[in-house]
């Protein structure tokens, strides 16, 4: 299966899209700057509070919130991850009638792209129960939360930012994991766009699917070594799957 065939399945509503942080590269945020990746976002958070230590995003978020509060953290994230403009390739991914979209991103880059090409998308977070499908809507499931819905009161439940929350098996123990498994098993194609398998909850769910599928993995990388490292990580977690890569 080549990418053209995979996208034909997507146009027919028979493909699943999995979106990670690399997908948002090329989008412009509310500061009129390029969207940062998680490592860059962590550095920006630390720099904003006068720190230079390199720490994971979850720790940087907690330190920032300790200095400037919940409202300050949400304002900062909205400036960095609020969508002002998207790239042309985002719209390409917004056009198909995906079976479902899963994303670890907090932002609404995909939703913006879909709206601009006339697609109706329903944003979802990991609620205790699966919602009833809505006719004419494509569901985009934000596994780690959805920033446009976050406020000072619901921050802990809306966004997975803290180190403790990130390392739980919250996704595997939810009905959403079963939905993901069934989607992967039923789809003719599964496409990963800019996704890292660093989130072990998601990795375990993916490798638990017994049926072999051809997975197309796309990442907008800064260099070829980055692509090579990504390939090694894919092999580690999906050793039995066929896959190919492209920049």
Q: Where are the beta strands (DSSP E) in 15-88?
A: 15-19, 28-29, 83-85
Question: pLDDT value at position 71?
Answer: 96
Question: pLDDT value at position 190?
Answer: 80
Instruction: With a cut of 70, list the residues of the chain below it in pLDDT.
Output: 1-3, 162-169, 196-247
Q: Give me the torsion for CA of 137, 138, 141, 146, rounded to 10°.
A: -60
In order of 83, 130, 132, the CA distances from 21 in angstroms are 14, 24, 28
Question: pLDDT value at position 109?
Answer: 97
- Answer whether 62's CB lies under 8 Å from 112's CB: no
Q: What does the pLDDT look like over 84-131, one tens digit per residue? A: 999 998 999 999 999 999 998 999 999 999 999 999 999 999 999 999
Question: pLDDT value at position 216?
Answer: 45
| Furthest CA-CA distance within the chain | 51
Q: Which residues of 200-215 are buried (b: 16+ CB within 10 A; e: fewer)?
A: ebbbebbeebeeebeb
Question: pLDDT value at position 208?
Answer: 60
Distance CA(104)–CA(196), nearest Å, equals 9
Domains of the chain (ranges plus CATH)? 3-27+84-239 (3.40.50)
């Amino acid at each position: 299966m080549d990418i053209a065939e995979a996208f034909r399945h997507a146009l027919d509503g028979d493909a699943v899209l999995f979106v990670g942080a690399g997908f948002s590269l090329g989008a412009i945020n509310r500061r009129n700057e390029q969207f940062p990746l998680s490592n860059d976002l962590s550095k920006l958070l630390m720099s904003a509070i006068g720190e230079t230590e390199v720490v994971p995003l979850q720790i940087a978020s907690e330190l920032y919130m300790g200095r400037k509060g919940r409202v300050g953290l949400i304002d900062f994230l909205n400036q960095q991850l609020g969508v002002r403009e998207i790239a042309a390739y985002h719209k390409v991914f917004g056009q198909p009638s995906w079976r479902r979209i899963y994303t670890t991103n907090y932002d609404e880059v995909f939703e913006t792209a879909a709206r601009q090409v006339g697609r109706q998308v329903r944003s979802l977070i990991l609620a205790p129960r699966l919602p009833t499908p809505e006719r004419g809507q494509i569901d985009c499931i934000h596994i780690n939360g959805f920033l446009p819905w976050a406020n000072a009161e619901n921050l802990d439940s809306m966004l997975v930012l803290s180190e403790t929350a990130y390392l739980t098996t919250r996704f595997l123990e939810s009905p959403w994991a079963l939905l993901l498994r069934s989607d992967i098993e039923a789809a003719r194609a599964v496409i990963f766009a800019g996704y890292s398998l660093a989130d072990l909850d998601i990795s375990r769910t993916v490798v638990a699917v017994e049926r072999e599928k051809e997975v197309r993995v796309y990442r907008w990388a800064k260099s070829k070594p980055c692509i090579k490292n990504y390939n090694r990580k894919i092999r580690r977690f999906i050793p039995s799957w066929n896959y190919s890569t492209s920049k």
